[in-house]
Structure formats: C-alpha cells, structure tokens
Structure 1
Amino acid sequence: MNLQELTNRSLAGDIDELHLVSLEGGIYVLEARIGQRFHPIQDAKGHVLGVRSVEHARELLTALPPMPFHLVHAVVHDEMCGMQDSSLPDLGVPIPLH
C-alpha cells in the first residue's frame, strides 16, 4: 500500500490504526492495520517507505483523518530468533497523529 492508497482508504474508514515502527539504527517504517492484518506503507517504487522521525511521519500523514497512531519499538532479538508471540500485548505507545 502506498501513501495515496493509505490516504484514500483512511478517508473511506478502512484503516483501523497506524503503527510507526522503530527499527534498529534510527529507522522507522509505517504499517496500517486493516482488520487483523498489517500492511507496510511503500514508496513509489514499491519499497518499504523509510521514515526519519515521528515528525517526518506526521508530515507524510497530514491528509489523513484522526485515527489511532502508535509508536512501536521492534524487539530485534525476538525477531531474529523467531519468537514473535501474538498473545503478548502490543508494545505500542499511543501518540498524536497531528
């Protein structure tokens, strides 16, 4: 899903929430949740869109209506070892979208 599709789908009410995922090395990526599935936000070339900061994410998302927005810190060790347990609570911290 690219930014234009994210905007269109969020205006239609299809997006349940957004995650700004903080990865190792100060890199962030955006994910949109529709139902139980997360969709990474991609750039014009189809690559995962890299975001520099929370403020950069807000700049990219100015056209979106208010919705739940969470800053999520990825746990690199768990990802590397394949220890993702869906029964664990989300580590996301609610932050304002605008």
Structure 2
Amino acid sequence: MIETKINEGYIVAGIKESDRLTAAVADEVKSELSSIVGGDNGKVVLNLSNIQFIDSTGIGVLISALKTARQNETLFLLCSIQKDVMSLLSLMKLDKVFEIREDESSL
C-alpha cells in the first residue's frame, strides 16, 4: 500500500491504490508507515499528492506516525497535500504540529 523512494537523502513514502486515507485502509497504512518511521531512516516524507479525502481514522494514522518518528528521532514531514485535505489539517490546527512542505522539490 505504501511505495517508497529516495530523494535528496529523504525516504519519500506515498500511499498507492487509494485516493482516500480512511478507516478502510488505515490499519495497513499505519503498519507500513510505522515500519518506515520506526527504523533508523533519519528523514521520512509522506507524499499525500494522491490523497483526496482523509477521515478521523486517517488523521490518527498521521499522528501515530509522527509520534513513532519522534520516539525514534526520525524527522517526519508531509508534502504535496491536496487543498481539501490541507483545509482539514488547518482547521484541526495540525498544520502547526506537522512540518509541511509544498512538494518534494522543496526538501
């Protein structure tokens, strides 16, 4: 479900096979993302360019990944966030919690 690549020393993870981060895919995404940020990878970016919708369970997945990253001293960023998803993150004040980049080129 998560595809990774290396860009400028960052592991860039992207959610494939779905344009929604919801309860339907949350367990699989959380498990795979935890493995990535829980390792000694140093810098991880989650590219949300194809995510059109996120629900409360999806928000929980992002917060869990951030918590795991911090426990493992891994930098965790979000990038390429669609307008509607960004509006939700801003409404919940999570734009102040997560480090967010416009896109991968700004790493």
Same fold (TM over 0.5): no
TM-score by length of 2: 0.30
Give the helix-richer structure, 1 or 2: 2
TM-score by length of 1: 0.32
